[in-house]
C-alpha cells in the first residue's frame, strides 16, 4: 500500500436493480463523458485507485477512500442523483465484501438475469477507461485481472451462461408470448447500439419475421448491419415518424440521456406495442397513458424467466468454487505484497547486525574465519525471516501489530 492509500479502504458504492427502480437508476446513470470527468475529478482529489461502471442495471464506483462518502459525493456530483436518493437505494461494500461483489458481477452472479455476460464487456470497458486516464493502481489492476480470469473460467467450465437470456432476448420472448401472429407483424427497431443489434439478431433467429425495419441516427451503421443480415429493411432518421405510424411493434434502444420517443411521435388511434430497452428510459412516460399503447420497460422485461434460468441456478455452486479459487490466489498475492517490504526491512536490519558482529570478532579473535561466520549467520537470518513470514501468514496473526513490534525490537522501518 502506497502513501496515498494509508488510512484508506477499498469500497464499492452505487445503485443497482436490486433496490433502485428504472427512474432512480436513470438519475445516477453516467455517460462515458461523465465517467471520464468523474475519473479526472477523483485523481485531482487524491483518490488513488478508482473505476466506475454505469449500465442499464447499475452505476457503481469501486475505489480507495478514507470514508465511502468520498466516492458517494463523486457519484452525486457527476450524475443527476442526490445524496438523499443514494441513502435510500444504495449498496455499500467494504474490503472483502467489495472484492466478493466484483467477482460476483464479473461472473454473472449479480446480473439481473442470472448468467448474463453482457456486464463482463461493460466491466472490461470501465477498467480500460480508468487505465486510460491513470486512475488504476496496482491493487485494482491485479484484482480486475483476477476477476476477469474468474469470469473466463466460469464461462468455459460451467453452464451459468448457457442459453440466450438478456434484455434483448427477453424483448423477443415477450413478443413471442404476448403478440398474436408475431411473425407477420411489422417491427421497427430504433437505435443500433449493442442492445439494438442483439434485438435485431434475436428477432431474425427466433421469430422468422421478415418484416423487420431499422432506423439509426448514423445511417451508415444501419446500412452496414442490413448488408450482413437479410430480411432487415432500413430507413433514414428523417422518416422516423412514418415508420412508427406503420409499425405494430416499436423497439427503442437509442441509449440517449433524454427520451428520444415522445408523445409527438405516437399516433393515438393506432395500436402499438413499445419495448423500451434503453437506460435511462428513452420513451417519455406520458406515452404509457395513451389508450392504444402498451409500453414495456427494462424492469418489466427482466422479470421474464424460463427453463434456462433454472438450469443456470444449478450451476451457481460450481461458479462459486471457481470464484473462491481466484479469490485465494488474489489474497495470496495481496499478503505477499504486504509482507515483502516488512520482511526485506527485517532482513536488512539483521544483515546490519551480522556485519557489525563479524567486524567486531575479526578484531578480537586472531585467525577468525570470516567466510564461515558469514555462511552460518546468513543461514540464521534466512531461518528467522522465514519464521517471520510464516507468522505473518497465520490467520490468527495481527499483521500490523506484529510488524510494529518487530520494528521496535530491531529498530527497523518495516
Give the residue numbers marked as catalytic.
Answer: 56
DSSP state of 209: -
Q: Which residue has the cell 537470518?
A: 381
- In whole angstroms, give the CA distance from residue 258 to residue 65: 32
CA distance 290 to 378: 85
Q: State the Cα–Cα distance between residues 156 and 174, nearest whole angstrom.
A: 29
- CA 82 – CA 99 distance, rounded (Å): 26
How would you label 308-336 residue by residue, b for 16+ Cβ within 10 Å and e otherwise?
beeebeebbeebbebbeebbeebeeeeee
- Residues 344 and 355: their CA atoms lie apart, in Å, by 16
**3-state class (DSSP) for residue 54:** strand
Residue of 279, 215, 224, 262 lying closest to 243 (CA atoms): 215
Sign of CA dihedral 360, 366, 370, 375: negative
Amino acid at each position: 500500500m502506497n502513501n496515498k492509500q494509508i488510512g484508506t479502504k477499498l469500497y464499492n458504492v452505487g445503485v443497482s436493480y436490486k433496490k433502485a427502480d428504472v427512474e432512480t437508476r436513470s438519475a445516477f446513470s453516467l455517460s462515458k463523458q461523465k465517467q471520464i470527468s468523474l475519473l479526472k475529478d477523483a485523481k485531482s482529489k487524491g483518490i488513488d485507485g478508482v473505476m466506475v461502471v454505469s449500465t442499464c442495471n447499475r452505476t457503481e464506483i469501486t475505489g480507495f477512500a478514507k470514508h465511502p462518502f468520498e466516492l458517494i459525493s463523486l457519484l452525486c456530483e457527476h450524475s443527476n442523483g442526490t445524496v438523499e436518493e443514494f441513502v435510500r437505494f444504495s449498496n455499500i461494500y467494504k474490503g472483502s465484501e467489495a472484492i466478493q461483489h466484483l467477482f460476483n458481477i464479473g461472473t454473472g452472479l449479480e446480473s439481473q438475469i442470472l448468467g448474463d455476460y453482457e456486464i463482463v464487456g461493460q466491466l472490461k470497458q470501465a477498467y480500460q477507461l480508468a487505465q486510460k486516464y491513470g486512475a488504476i493502481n496496482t491493487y485494482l489492476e491485479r484484482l480486475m485481472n483476477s476477476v476477469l480470469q474468474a469470469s473466463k473460467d466460469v464461462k468455459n467450465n460451467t453452464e451459468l451462461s448457457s442459453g440466450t437470456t438478456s434484455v434483448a432476448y427477453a424483448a423477443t420472448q415477450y413478443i413471442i408470448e404476448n403478440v398474436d401472429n408475431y411473425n407477420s407483424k411489422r417491427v421497427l427497431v430504433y437505435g443500433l447500439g449493442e442492445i439494438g443489434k442483439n434485438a435485431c439478431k434475436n428477432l431474425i433467429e427466433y421469430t422468422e419475421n421478415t418484416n423487420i425495419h431499422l432506423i439509426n441516427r448514423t445511417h451508415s451503421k444501419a446500412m452496414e448491419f442490413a448488408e450482413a443480415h437479410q430480411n432487415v429493411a432500413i430507413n433514414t432518421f428523417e422518416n422516423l415518424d412514418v415508420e412508427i405510424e406503420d409499425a405494430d411493434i416499436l423497439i427503442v434502444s437509442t441509449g440517449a440521456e433524454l427520451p428520444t420517443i415522445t408523445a409527438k411521435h405516437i399516433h393515438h388511434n393506432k395500436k402499438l406495442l413499445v419495448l423500451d430497452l434503453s437506460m435511462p428510459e428513452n420513451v417519455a412516460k406520458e406515452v404509457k397513458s395513451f389508450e392504444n399503447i402498451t409500453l414495456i420497460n427494462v424492469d418489466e422485461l427482466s422479470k421474464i424467466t424460463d427453463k434456462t434460468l433454472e438450469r443456470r441456478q444449478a450451476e451457481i455452486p460450481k461458479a462459486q468454487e471457481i470464484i473462491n479459487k481466484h479469490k485465494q490466489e488474489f489474497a495470496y498475492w495481496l499478503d505477499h505484497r504486504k509482507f515483502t517490504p516488512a520482511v526485506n526491512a527485517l532482513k536488512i536490519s539483521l544483515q546490519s547486525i551480522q556485519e557489525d558482529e563479524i567486524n567486531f570478532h575479526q578484531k578480537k579473535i586472531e585467525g577468525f574465519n570470516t567466510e564461515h561466520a558469514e555462511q552460518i549467520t546468513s543461514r540464521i537470518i534466512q531461518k528467522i525471516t522465514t519464521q517471520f513470514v510464516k507468522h505473518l501468514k497465520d490467520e490468527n496473526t495481527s499483521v500490523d501489530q506484529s510488524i510494529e513490534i518487530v520494528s521496535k525490537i530491531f529498530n527497523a522501518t518495516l
